[in-house]
Amino acid sequence: MKKSNIIMLIAVILPLGLFLFPLWKITLEAPQYPTPLGMYIHINDFADANPHDIKNINLMNHYVGMKYIPEAIPEFKIFPAGILITSLIGLIIAFKGNYKWFLYWFILMVVLSSAGLYDFYLWEHDYGHNLDPKAIMKFTNPDGTQMGFQPPLFGSKNILNFRAHSYPRLGALFLGLGIATSLIAYLVGRKNSKTTEQ
Amino acid sequence: MNTMKHILKPIASLVIVLVTFTSCNNTKKSGSNSGALSSNVAEKVFVAPGEHDEFYAFISGGYSGNLTVYGLPSGRMFKEIPVFSQFPTSGYGYSEETKPMLNTSHGFIPWGDSHHPDISQTNGEIDGRFIFINENNTPRIAKIDLQSFETTEIIEVPNSAGNHSSSFVTENTEYVVAGTRFSVPIPQRDMPIKDYKGNFQGALSFISVAPETGDMDIKFQVLMPGFNYDLSHPGRGKSHGWFFFTTYNTEEANTLLEVNASQNDKDFIAAVNWKKIEEYVNNGGGKMMPAEYAHNVYDEHTHTATSTIKKEVRVVNPTDVPGAVFFLPTPKSPHGCDVDPTGEYIVGNGKLSANLTVHSFTKMLDAIENEKFDGEAYGIPILNFEDVLAGTVEQPGLGPLHTEFDDQGNAYTTFFISSEVVKWKVGTWEVIDRKPTYYSVGHLTIPGGNSRKPQGKYMFAMNKITKDRYLPTGPEMEHSAQLYDISGDKMELLLDFPTHGEPHYAAAMRADLIKERSRKIYNLDENNHPYAAKSDAETKVVRDGNEVHIYMTTIRSHFSPDNIEGIKVGDKVFFHVTNLEQDFDVPHGFAVLGQNTSELLIMPGQTKTSVWEPTKVGVWPFYCTDFCSALHQEMQGYIRVSPKNADTPIKWSMGEDIE
């Protein structure tokens, strides 16, 4: 097996770490929560950072009319399937394909991950803005528009009495490393093929 | 102690005056030496906002019947744990679930007199799993779980009266021991009081503690002569397997004890070889006698206590077990009975003596082996005083009551009459230091006391008289306590803090052993209460004759249901309230207008029940008593009470109107 194909094989295997580790974490800090509330986003699940955190986030959020974080969302079926299919394609490429296919897989993964992030953003936006009209507390921005409570996609942000943090976790790192490694596989493969051509 | 207080208060006031002028090592009034308090004293007790204390102190509430939790060195009170008394703050003893905890063979008793807390041990060291405390008046022993800080078990002690030489644990918590202060006819019967002598007996009860669960059971009672068994402590290390009890009224007087029980030059410390008696009992020794006593157990999963009346108890006649019980003569009505960390020395605090008597365990064993007896009392051998004496602390103060030990080989004894704590060296018996207390100190506590490994650093004295220590609050005041730094050669007074009720003894220990295990919530998934509603969907109202059961939930910030109709005058309404919260420190309360019991304070995941028997037609509000959330004031509901003969159907709702 060629060196570039071995690298490609590693690139394909790495994103499977998503099934082991959480993709993202949202943390909410406030003075009366000495242990912050937190939620892990796995590829197929929402999970408490500490027991009952999601229940308690929901309880907080109902005051401003936010919807409950659902038990399951369609993405929990689509994302794992997507990763399994792209992994399968990647495996075939790693064993059969040449370096050009590595690049195509890289592009495919970048596009799909971006789509995934965009989908996450849309959900967050809806979650933070689509509020119950009978909300207990209604807040408006200085310009009179309804205040939203969307957590940041990436980074930290103050939301009322909370400070919200949103950062990728180990699963996202594995995905990113896998994608980057496929680019390396492409570059190594291209270099090798140029060497052999000469 | 109360009786003592009455005897000694007048003496005390006289003697204090005398001592002030005569004793070279007595102390000045606090005012005159306050300038000597260096500024770093404040730093030593300062626990910055948000920081935690280094030690827990569990201080008995005496006639409050409860146990209070303090932090050291700050002297801040964190909690009052209801034990033997009804506690309307939480509904303990009022809620249907906890009423059985206060059941006894004499029926429901709403009050108790708690005395001596002691923490469970493993290998002679404090393990912080449970704390035990005795009830003096209607003899009982309670166990408090130090994960939930709740009373989870209470056992009544039959054949006992004035359960005072209690509740001290052996070094692997094999037993929690409960001795009787008052001797009584055993079994109880109608007889002339004047026939006390020779007819009354004193029961020393050994209550086994199951290693895993902590379940208590009276393994056996030793029926001793009719003396007063005042205090006790277990042997440890080399003396593990023995238990020591001070006695007074060996005169066996039944009237005017202040005079008649103070005649003998020496009373006794009873040394009981419980291992020997345990072996005897395990081989079928002793006999089961009819008795009646309650055993009350709280289940953390059903959140409910059950009370069982037991019908017999095993009793042992000490003369049937040769070599099991001996008397050590000890001067003048000894009060405290304290064993040093090595287990070698047994201190008899002869409260009417000027000296402190210390017995040697090794010498005691030697005297027993060589049968150096000086007569007997009711068949129990009396050892020769000189043969068992290890030493005497000469003239340390007036009215010695209790002794505790540090980890440096020093002992600290309280003196009620001269109102001071005296530090002395174990082995050389020399007095090292003395510091005044304010005023008339009873017990003192060093963290890790009653163990092989005292944790040192601090000692606090619990006083019986407060007088001018704080802003006055009328004739009745909380008692005062003083905290001393004992890390140096000389004790240093750090802090004066009020305590709740009348603290007798206290148990203290390093906080780190307990605080990580402290429970935050009860898991709703593990709630097996038969009337729990674990979601809004499970709420309902069920009529059964004139009983109505309301399965109610609370979560920020509503009750479900919050509109209830169909109740009639004469009904017995059970509000079974489940707190659906699963977040730390979010209790909800429940109160309904005209409730003849107390409110309920329901912890997250818990179910509690309050009974309401409406007497008036109307629409009555109920509400959450705990400021639970920003919408706490909205957390309310209505219950409609119709006339007795009305036909209003049972209906309930939440979020919409009852149609």
| Residue of chain A nearest B520, judged by CA positions | A51
The pLDDT, as a whole number, for residue B321 is 98
Gap between the Cα atoms of B336 and B643, Å rounded: 62
Gap between the Cα atoms of B512 and B504, Å rounded: 25
Cβ–Cβ under 8 Å, residues B50 and B74: no
Least confident segment among B10-14, B198-202, B217-221, B336-340: B10-14
pLDDT at B31 over 50: no
**Domain limits at A116?**
3-197
What's the whole-number average pLDDT of chain B? 94
What's the whole-number average pLDDT of chain A? 93
Give the total residue count for chain B.
659
CB contacts, 8 Å: B630 with chain A: 63, 137
The pLDDT, as a whole number, for residue B18 is 44
Distance from the Cα of A186 to chain B's closest Cα (Å) equals: 51
Residue B339 φ/ψ, nearest 5 degrees? -110, 130
Gap between the Cα atoms of B362 and B367, Å rounded: 9
What tens digit of pLDDT does each residue of A81-108 get? 999 999 999 999 999 988 899 999 999 9
Residues of chain B with CATH 2.60.40.420: 527-653
The pLDDT, as a whole number, for residue A1 is 76
- Under DSSP, is residue B242 helix (H, G, I), strand (E, B) or coil? strand
pLDDT tier at B9, thresholds 50, 70, 90: low
Least confident segment among A171-185, B18-32, B388-402: B18-32
CA dihedral A64, A70, A71, A75 (to 10 degrees): -150
pLDDT tier at B15, thresholds 50, 70, 90: very low
Amino acid making up residue A47? A
CB contacts, 8 Å: B555 with chain A: 59
Tokens in use for B96?
A: 């249907």
Gap between the Cα atoms of B512 and B56, Å rounded: 9
The pLDDT, as a whole number, for residue B363 is 98
Do B582 and A52 make contact, defined as CB atoms within 8 angstroms? Answer: yes
pLDDT at B612 over 80: yes
pLDDT at A54 over 50: yes
pLDDT at B490 over 70: yes
Distance from the Cα of B514 to chain A's closest Cα (Å) equals: 19
Do B631 and A52 make contact, defined as CB atoms within 8 angstroms? Answer: no
The pLDDT, as a whole number, for residue B289 is 98
Cβ–Cβ under 8 Å, residues B393 and B424: yes
Do A55 and B630 make contact, defined as CB atoms within 8 angstroms? Answer: no
- Under DSSP, is residue A73 helix (H, G, I), strand (E, B) or coil? coil
What tens digit of pLDDT does each residue of B413-458 get? 999 999 999 999 999 999 999 999 999 999 999 999 889 999 989 9
CB contacts, 8 Å: B581 with chain A: 59
pLDDT at B5 over 80: no
What tens digit of pLDDT does each residue of B553-605 get? 999 999 999 999 999 999 999 999 999 999 999 999 999 999 999 999 999 99
Do A59 and B630 make contact, defined as CB atoms within 8 angstroms? Answer: no
As a whole number, mean pLDDT of residues B37-49 equals 85
CB contacts, 8 Å: A136 with chain B: 631
Distance from the Cα of A58 to chain B's closest Cα (Å) equals: 11
pLDDT at A198 over 90: no
Do A136 and B582 make contact, defined as CB atoms within 8 angstroms? Answer: no
pLDDT at B59 over 60: yes
| Residue of chain B nearest A136, judged by CA positions | B631
What tens digit of pLDDT does each residue of B125-147 get? 999 999 999 999 999 999 999 99
Do A56 and B583 make contact, defined as CB atoms within 8 angstroms? Answer: yes
Q: What is the ipTM metric for this complex? A: 0.87
Task: Inform me whether the C-beta atom of residue B556 falls under 8 Å from chain A C-beta atoms.
Answer: yes
CB contacts, 8 Å: B588 with chain A: none
- Which stretches within chain A are classed as H helix? 3-13, 53-61, 75-96, 99-129, 170-197
What tens digit of pLDDT does each residue of B259-272 get? 999 999 999 999 99
The pLDDT, as a whole number, for residue B481 is 97
The pLDDT, as a whole number, for residue B21 is 41
Task: Inform me whether the C-beta atom of residue B52 falls under 8 Å from chain A C-beta atoms.
Answer: no
Cβ–Cβ under 8 Å, residues B383 and B364: yes
Fold classified for B2-188+199-515: Methylamine Dehydrogenase; Chain H (2.130.10)
Cβ–Cβ under 8 Å, residues B609 and B95: yes
Residue B123 φ/ψ, nearest 5 degrees? 50, 40
Distance from the Cα of A67 to chain B's closest Cα (Å) equals: 16
Do B583 and A63 make contact, defined as CB atoms within 8 angstroms? Answer: no
Max Cα–Cα distance, chain A, nearest Å: 73
Residue B173's region, left for phi above 0, alpha for psi from -120 to 50, else beta, is left
A interface with B, Cβ–Cβ < 8 A, is: 35, 51-52, 55-56, 59, 63, 136-137
Tokens in use for B324?
A: 């099991």
CB contacts, 8 Å: B582 with chain A: 51-52, 55-56
| CATH number among 3.40.50.300, 2.60.40.420, 3.40.50.460, 3.90.180.10, domain B527-653 | 2.60.40.420
Q: How many CA atoms lie within 13 A of B515 on its CB side?
A: 14
pLDDT at B30 over 50: no
Question: What single-letter DSSP state applies at residue B87?
Answer: B
Neighbours of A13 (CB within 10 A): 16
Residues of chain B with CATH 2.130.10.10: 2-188+199-515
Structural domain count, chain A: 1
- Per-residue b/e over B522-547, b at no fewer than 16 CB within 10 Å? bebeebebebbbbeeeebebeeeeee
Task: Inform me whether the C-beta atom of residue B583 falls under 8 Å from chain A C-beta atoms.
Answer: yes
Cβ–Cβ under 8 Å, residues B575 and B612: yes
As a whole number, mean pLDDT of residues B481-491 equals 97
Contacts of residue B26, defined as CB under 8 A and 6 or more positions apart, other chains included, come to: B19, B20, B418, B420, B436
pLDDT tier at B39, thresholds 50, 70, 90: low
* Torsional sign, CA B118, B119, B123, B125: negative
pLDDT tier at B6, thresholds 50, 70, 90: low
Residue B160 φ/ψ, nearest 5 degrees? -115, 160
Say if strands A45-48 and A33-42 run parallel, antiparallel, or are unpaired.
Answer: antiparallel
Tokens in use for B386?
A: 């000189």
The residue ranking higher by pLDDT, B322 or B27, is B322
The residue ranking higher by pLDDT, B367 or A71, is B367
Gap between the Cα atoms of A143 and B414, Å rounded: 72
CA-closest candidate to residue B591, choices B83, B84, B89, B86: B89
At residue A109's C-alpha, the angle toward residues A107 and A113, to 5°, is 120
The pLDDT, as a whole number, for residue B19 is 42
Distance from the Cα of A29 to chain B's closest Cα (Å) equals: 15
Tokens in use for B63?
A: 């006639």
Q: Is B464 exposed, middle or buried (0-12, 13-18, 19+ CB in 10 A)?
A: buried
The pLDDT, as a whole number, for residue B430 is 97
Do A63 and B582 make contact, defined as CB atoms within 8 angstroms? Answer: no
